[in-house]
Structure 1
Amino acid sequence: MQNIVFIVLIGIGATLVMDLWALLRQQLFSIAPTNWGMVGRWIGHMRKGRFSHTSIANADAVSGEKIIGWTAHYVIGIGYAVLLFLLFGETWLLQPTAGPALALGIATVVAPFFVLQPGMGAGIAASKTPNPNAVRLHSVLNHAVFGLGLYLSALVLRLVL
C-alpha cells in the first residue's frame, strides 16, 4: 500500500514540476504553456466517437473541458510513475536514481508526437504547425523536465517520509 501512495505522489510531483517549468518558460521566454482545456476538448469529443480533428481549437467546446484536460494531465503523470515502477521496481523507489527517471520522461514524448498532436490537428510530431522543430524541441524539453520531476519527487518523498 505504501508503494501505491509513493507512486501516486511521485506522479503528481513530477507533473507539478512540469507545470512549474511551464510557468517559468512563460515568464522567461514568453512561451505559452499547454492549454489543457484544448486537451480536455479533444478527450471530450472521444465520448462522441471523434478521435481526430483538423483543428481542435475550431472544434465545438465541451462542457468541463478545462477540468477534463487538467485531470487527464495529472492522471497521465501518475500513469507514467506507475510505468517507472513497473520497469524499475521497488529498488528504484527505495533508492531513486536520475537515469531511469530521465530516460522514461524523455521516452514519454512519444505520446504527444504520435497520439495527442495528430489527434488535435497538429500532425505527427507537430508537422502541421508553423514551426514544427521548435514545438518538437519544447516537447522533448518538457518531457525531460517531467523525468527530472519523477526523480526529484522520489528523492523528496524518501527524505520526508
Structure 2
Amino acid sequence: MDLWGWLRKRVFGGKGLDYGLVGRWIAHMPHGRFRHDNIAAAPKKPGERLIGWSAHYGIGIAFAGLLIGLGGAEWAARPTLGPALAVGIGTVAAPFFLMQPGMGAGIAASRTPRPNAARLQSLLTHAVFGLGLYVAAWAAPF
C-alpha cells in the first residue's frame, strides 16, 4: 500500500494521505473530539506523525489478521487472490465511514472537491492492499 502511494505520487502526481493528520485526528480522541470539520485546521498534537503512521501499520496488521481469521491456516498455507482482494477492498469501509467523516471529508469523501476521484483512489489503494496481503501470504514461510 505504501509502495503504491509512493508510485502514484511520483507517476501520476497524486497526493496521498498525510498520516500526520490521521495521527492528529486520533490524538484528539482521548479529549472527546472524534469529529472535525477540517482536521488540517485542528490544533496540532505532539507526536501526531508517529501516532498516524503507527495506526496505519497497526490497522493494516489487524486487517491482515482478519483475513487469516476468515481464511484460516488453510488459506495461509495455500493463498488465493479472491479472499485477499475481498478483504482488501472490504476495508475501504473504514475510511469511507469512519476516518473521512471524522476528519471532515464527509462520508465517502463527499465533502472533498472531487469526491468520485477520492473514492476511486481509496478503492484502488485498498485493492492494492488486498493484493499485498496475497503476495505477503505467498512470501510467508508457512
TM-score (norm 1): 0.87
Q: Which residue of 2 aligns with 1:69?
A: 52
- Structure 2 residue matching 1:61: 3-state secondary structure: coil
Counterpart residue type for residue 68 of structure 1? I
Q: Which residue among 101, 109, 122 is the counterpart of 1:126?
A: 109
Equivalent pairs counted in the alignment come to 142
Are residue 104 (structure 1) and residue 90 (structure 2) matched?
no
- Which residue pairs with 1:86 in the alignment? 69
Identity %: 59
The match for 2:7 is 24
Counterpart in the other structure of 1:48: 31
Higher relative contact order (CA 8 A, sep 6+): 1
| Equivalent residue, structure 2, for 1:14 | none
> CA shift at 1:116, angstroms?
0.2
1:151 maps to 2:134: yes
Give the AA of the match of 2:17: T
Moved segments of 4+, more than 3 Å: none
Let me know the Cα RMSD of the aligned residues. Answer: 0.8
Q: Deviations over 1:89-135 (max 9, x none)?
A: 11011111110000110000000000000000000000000000000
Deviation of 1:33 after TM superposition, in Å, equals 1.7
Gaps of at least 5 residues in structure 2 are: none
Amino acid in the other structure paired with 2:90:
A
